[in-house]
């Protein structure tokens, strides 16, 4: 069991080595002639105005929040789905109640107008 996660760690290591190697080779082979104009922010030739690190539309945050609730709750559904065959009808009814609570949360968000792109 622990061996399996060791192999996953190997995959992470090799998965890092390959792109780092490719970018490293490109770094060695490519020319290095930096100048201030080349390193400017690219906006199709126009000079950039102001900072890009600004506070941005709050709607994205709300979607992220709705996602977070759903994502955490769906993780609970995986063990239920695996053992469904052994647990029988009672578990199905319980699962349906659980999902219904999730959907009620979605309907609440919807009614509150949080899913509109305002």
Partner 1 sequence: MNFWTDPLKMAADWLTGLLTGWGMPEGVAVGLAAFLGIFVLIAILMVIDIFLVWLERKVVARFQDRIGPNRLGPFGLIQPFADIVKLLIKEDITPANADKVVYNLAPILSMMSVLILWAIVPLAPQILGIDLNVAALYIIATGAIGTLSIIMAGWSSNNKFALLGAFRQVAVMVSFEIPMVASLLIPTVLAGSMGMNKIIEAQNIWFVVLSPLGALIFMIAAIAELGRSPFDMGEAESELISGYNVEYSGMKFGMFYAGELLHAFTFGGFWGILFFGGYSFFGLEDVSPFLAIPILLTKAVIGYWIIMWVKYTMMRIRIDHMLAFNWKFLTPLSFVLLMVTALVHVLFKDTSPWLYGLSMLGSNLILGWVVIEFLRRFSRAEREKLEGHAKPAMEAAGH
CB of 35 to partner 1, least distance (A): 10
Name the burial class of residue 60, with classes exposed (0-12), middle (13-18) and buried (19+) by CB atoms within 10 angstroms of its CB.
Answer: exposed
By CB under 8 A, tell whether 111 contacts partner 1: no
> Applying CB under 8 A, what is the total number of residues that bind partner 1?
70
Identified binder of partner 1 from the candidate list 45, 47, 55, 57, rule CB under 8 A: 57
By CB under 8 A, tell whether 48 contacts partner 1: yes
CB of 59 to partner 1, least distance (A): 8
By CB under 8 A, tell whether 46 contacts partner 1: no
CA distances from 28 to 15, 31, 39, 58, 80 (A): 21, 8, 19, 42, 52
């Amino acid at each position: 069991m622990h061996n399996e996660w060791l192999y996953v760690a190997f995959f992470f290591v090799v998965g890092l080595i390959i792109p780092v190697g490719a970018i490293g080779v490109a770094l060695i082979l490519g020319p290095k002639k930096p100048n201030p104009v080349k390193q400017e922010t690219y906006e199709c030739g126009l000079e950039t105005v102001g900072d890009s690190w600004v506070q941005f539309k709050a709607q994205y945050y709300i979607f992220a929040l709705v996602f977070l609730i759903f994502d955490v709750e769906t993780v609970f559904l995986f063990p239920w789905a695996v053992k469904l065959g052994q647990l029988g009808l009672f578990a199905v009814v319980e699962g349906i109640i659980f999902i219904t609570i999730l959907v009620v949360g979605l309907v609440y968000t919807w009614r509150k107008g949080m899913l509109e792109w305002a």
